[in-house]
Amino acid sequence: IMNTELFESITKYLANLNLDGDTLRAYTIDLHRFERTMGNTPISSTTRETVKEYLNGLSIKNGQRVSLATQNRHYATLHRFFEWCVTEGMIQENPMENLPRRRPNKDLGEVQPGTIIRSLNKEQIEKIFRNAQTTREKLLFNLLYTSGIRISEGLDLNIQDIQEGTINVRQGKGNQPRVGYV
């Protein structure tokens, strides 16, 4: 059942965002999933409890709960959408105000965002180098390992982008250029 009011609000909201393609796509997916879940519930009737139940009920296709990172992305998307709804006068207050984010479940291996999950030990690094089939694979892993650039950034490099220990990443995250060092 399509919620016309919510659908139209989401469409208007998304049209006014100034985000790059991947972020806009994620917002669109998240908001339309929320809209489908809400059915015909008006925006003004969305409560803190409704949003909390929605976030806690997020699951992937096989029924497993979504990852902590995915749930946090949905949280941020909805929070920003409801802030916009308040600004537009559609609702009086953000139903997500003071709604805490889900805590990581250490038993499931979840960690706080920003926490270094793990590092490679010497044996793992050597195994990766041993299993690298081509010179390209060896070079790429060495570059990623020593510089800290993202895989997508490494794959997008041209030879002229690397000069005297400096890596000029033309399009990093968010289509922003940045510099890495070897």
pTM of the model as a whole: 0.61
H or E, element range at 4: helix 4-15
Q: Which among 83, 102, 95 is positioned nearest to 41, based on CA atoms? A: 95
Structure tokens at 154: 């490494």
The pLDDT score that the predictor gives to residue 123 is 83
CA distance 52 to 180: 40
CB 113 within 8 A of CB 69: yes
Residues in the chain: 182
**pLDDT averaged over consecutive 10-residue blocks of the chain (182 residues)?**
79 88 90 90 89 86 77 92 94 91 70 62 84 88 86 88 88 82 80
Q: Are 179 and 167 in contact (CB under 8 A)?
A: yes
pLDDT (0 to 100) of residue 108: 63
- Residue 5 CA to residue 165 CA, distance in Å, equals 55
DSSP labels, 98-139: T-PPPPP-GGGT---TT-------HHHHHHHHHH--SHHHHH
* pLDDT at site 151: 85
Task: Return the percentage of the chain with pLDDT > 70, whole number.
Answer: 90
